[in-house]
């Protein structure tokens, strides 16, 4: 057996035979950062999906649940690819000269969008994951969920958090470790206690299987406790993207003020170069370094100017506020509806919209919305012609969920403890409020001590339950998607509240345009995930019937 100790501290154990198997499908069997290869796209997608809900590493999931699981059909799926004779790395090396000729011959960066890769990044902090997920175009991320996986494991007797190099070289090192240990200790100790309380409060009904009930209880416990985890908690993430998007992401990562993100850029580029080398090589060459300097210079210049207007952060208990919208939103939407149906120019369509009577406006907008049967039936692109900007104050755990929305603009402030902590009422009712507050106190004190000296690194000690600010600018079509999806019963209570607030604001501001939002759920529930888990049971039963 070979014990492979990764740079992130997690210990993996693979036999020689397992390493030989994994080397056919992973660019590295030792590094925390690696790419998948020689796998069909469907297998990669399924693997990454399973990975996000497992405490195992990607390679262990691949071995245990795909390669060595006789029911997965892995050999039959991948066998055809093996018979082609060449490994992906060899084939990629042969193809690199061809790709270079295409790039030189056409000089079109979009060629890099035709090649893609699956990148896995393991044992990285939750803060670093957010930086990588900021790249919303061309990259699809998936992260290990704090809702389905407990983060109470230890490696070598230590909780799994990033011991950030600049912090550990500073006078804050010992206090940082103690603060993180206190947070993880409280989180781990409350898991069994809270699970027992939730089981007593919500006994299993006869129509819920043991699997569905256990999953719902686990999700509830995770939801209530995730706010205690620090942003330094180590997690795993998967990214699928095209070469152009990865190149731009790498350049931004190299320019990051955080050492962890810069190191992650180097290891990511090293592995991506094994599968899409021509597409990512400019991220750190002459042109890439110029891009990095551009990012650094503009950040420094804007920061120095903004510093003149800096104010002390005050605690903010709001959820979502509507700070900007189009006063003529109805006219804009109607013009966009009419334009493709007429032969006038766009100005003519706007003129028609302005002249319409209120009853005519209502008729055409309701006709465009139609009789929606479910939330996936959304109004068309005319609803993309008007925009809304919300300022949101919510905890970092909530932000991590909402950050995944891609068809909108989001920008966040640095993490802080100055807006207060979202304490779940269930923890207070169960008598754990004081214990949680005692665990939070060292982190709060340390953050305030570190904030001015190292503002970016100070974020690592901030627990997920502390509130932060960010803005979200979205068009009306995205607002339909966002409010209906994020208010669904199985959603986390924190972000359901934000979606519900946004819906109420839209209804008040533009009642006609918001009238088609039929699938916003404003109710509250005890075990949010239970009904969704019951549906999974039905699907599993159907799959079992098909197999038989």
Show the tokens assigned to 155. 């490696």
> Percent of the chain, pLDDT > 90?
70
pLDDT of 40 reads: 67
Q: What's the whole-number average pLDDT of the chain?
A: 89
Which class in CATH covers the domain with range 320-411+469-533? alpha beta
Confidence band of 68 (pLDDT split at 50, 70, 90):
confident
361 C-beta neighbours (distance < 10 Å), count: 17
Domain boundaries, the chain: 2-145+235-303, 160-233+435-464, 320-411+469-533
Cα torsion 463, 465, 469, 474: sign:
positive
28-39 per-position pLDDT tens digit: 998 999 999 887
Distance between CA atoms of residues 395 and 464, nearest Å: 6
Give the lowest-confidence range in 72-81, 293-302, 494-503, 523-532: 72-81
Please, what's the b/e burial string for 55-78 (b: 16 or more CB within 10 A of its CB; e: otherwise)?
ebbbbbbbbebbbeeeeeebeeeb
pLDDT of 2 reads: 52
Distance between CA atoms of residues 447 and 10, nearest Å: 27
Show the tokens assigned to 303. 């920061």
The answer to whether the CB of 22 falls within 8 A of the CB of 29 is: yes
530-543 per-position pLDDT tens digit: 787 878 878 877 77
pLDDT of 536 reads: 84
Please, what's the b/e burial string for 506-525 (b: 16 or more CB within 10 A of its CB; e: otherwise)?
bbeebebbbebbebbbeeee
Show the tokens assigned to 516. 């088609």
pLDDT of 45 reads: 66
**Residue 95, Cβ density class (10 Å: 0-12 exposed, 13-18 middle, ≥19 buried):** middle
Q: Work out the angle at residue 239's Cα, subtended by the Cα atoms of residues 71 and 482, and round it to the nearest 5 degrees.
A: 100
> Among all chains, which residue has been given the structure tokens 């004081």?
434
- DSSP class of residue 68? S
Lateral strand order in the sheet of 33-35? 33-35, 116-125, 234-242, 139-143
441-495 per-position pLDDT tens digit: 999 999 999 999 999 999 999 999 999 999 999 999 999 999 999 999 989 999 9
Show the tokens assigned to 50. 């399973």
Distance between CA atoms of residues 353 and 343, nearest Å: 15
Distance between CA atoms of residues 357 and 334, nearest Å: 12
């Amino acid at each position: 057996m070979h014990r492979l100790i990764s740079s992130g501290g997690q210990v993996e154990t693979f036999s020689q035979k397992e390493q030989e198997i994994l080397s056919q499908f992973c660019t590295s069997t030792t590094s925390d950062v690696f790419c998948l290869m020689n796998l069909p796209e469907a297998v990669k997608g399924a693997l990454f999906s399973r990975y996000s809900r497992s405490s195992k590493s990607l390679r262990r999931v691949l071995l245990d649940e795909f390669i060595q699981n006789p029911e997965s059909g892995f050999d039959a799926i991948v066998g055809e690819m093996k018979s082609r004779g060449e490994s992906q790395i060899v084939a990629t090396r042969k193809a690199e000269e061809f790709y270079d000729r295409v790039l030189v011959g056409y000089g079109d960066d979009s060629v890099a969008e035709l090649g893609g890769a699956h990148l896995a990044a393991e044992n990285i902090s939750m803060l670093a994951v957010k930086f990588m997920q900021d790249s919303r175009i061309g990259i699809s991320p998936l992260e290990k969920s704090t809702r389905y996986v407990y983060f109470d494991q230890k490696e070598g007797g230590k909780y799994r958090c990033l011991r950030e190099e600049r912090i550990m070289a500073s006078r804050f090192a010992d206090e940082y470790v103690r603060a993180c240990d206190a947070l993880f200790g409280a989180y781990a100790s409350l898991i069994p206690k809270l699970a027992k309380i939730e089981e007593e409060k919500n006994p299993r009904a006869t129509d819920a299987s043991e699997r569905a009930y256990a999953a719902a209880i686990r999700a509830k416990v995770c939801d209530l406790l995730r706010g205690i985890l620090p942003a330094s908690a180590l997690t795993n993430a998967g990214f699928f993207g095209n070469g152009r998007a990865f190149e731009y992401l790498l350049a931004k990562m190299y320019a990051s003020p955080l050492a962890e993100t810069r190191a992650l850029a180097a290891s990511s580029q090293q592995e991506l170069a094994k599968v899409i080398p021509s597409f990512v090589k400019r991220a750190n060459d002459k042109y890439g370094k110029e891009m990095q300097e551009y990012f650094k210079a503009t950040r420094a210049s804007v920061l120095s100017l903004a510093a003149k207007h800096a104010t002390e952060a005050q605690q903010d208990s709001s959820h979502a506020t509507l700070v900007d919208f189009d006063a003529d939103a109805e006219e804009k939407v109607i013009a966009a509806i009419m334009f493709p149906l007429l032969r006038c120019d766009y100005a003519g369509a706007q003129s028609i919209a302005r002249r319409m009577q209120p009853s005519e406006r209502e008729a055409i907008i309701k006709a465009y919305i139609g009789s929606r049967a479910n939330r996936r039936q959304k109004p068309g692109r005319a609803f993309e012609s008007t925009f809304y900007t919300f300022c949101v104050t919510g905890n970092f755990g909530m932000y991590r969920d909402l950050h995944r929305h891609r068809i909108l603009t989001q920008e966040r402030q640095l993490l802080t403890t100055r807006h207060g902590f979202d304490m779940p009422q269930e923890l207070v009712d169960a008598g754990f409020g004081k214990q949680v507050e005692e665990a939070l106190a060292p982190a709060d004190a340390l953050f305030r001590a570190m904030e001015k000296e190292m503002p970016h690194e100070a974020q690592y000690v901030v627990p997920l339950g502390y509130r932060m600010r960010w803005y979200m600018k979205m068009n009306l079509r995205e607002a339909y998607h966002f409010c209906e999806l994020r208010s669904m019963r199985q959603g986390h209570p924190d972000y359901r509240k934000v979606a519900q607030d946004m819906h109420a604001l839209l209804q008040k501001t533009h009642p006609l345009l918001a009238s088609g939002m039929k699938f916003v759920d404003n109710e509250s529930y005890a075990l949010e995930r239970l009904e969704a888990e019951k549906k999974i049971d039905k699907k599993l039963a159907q799959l079992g019937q098909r197999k038989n």
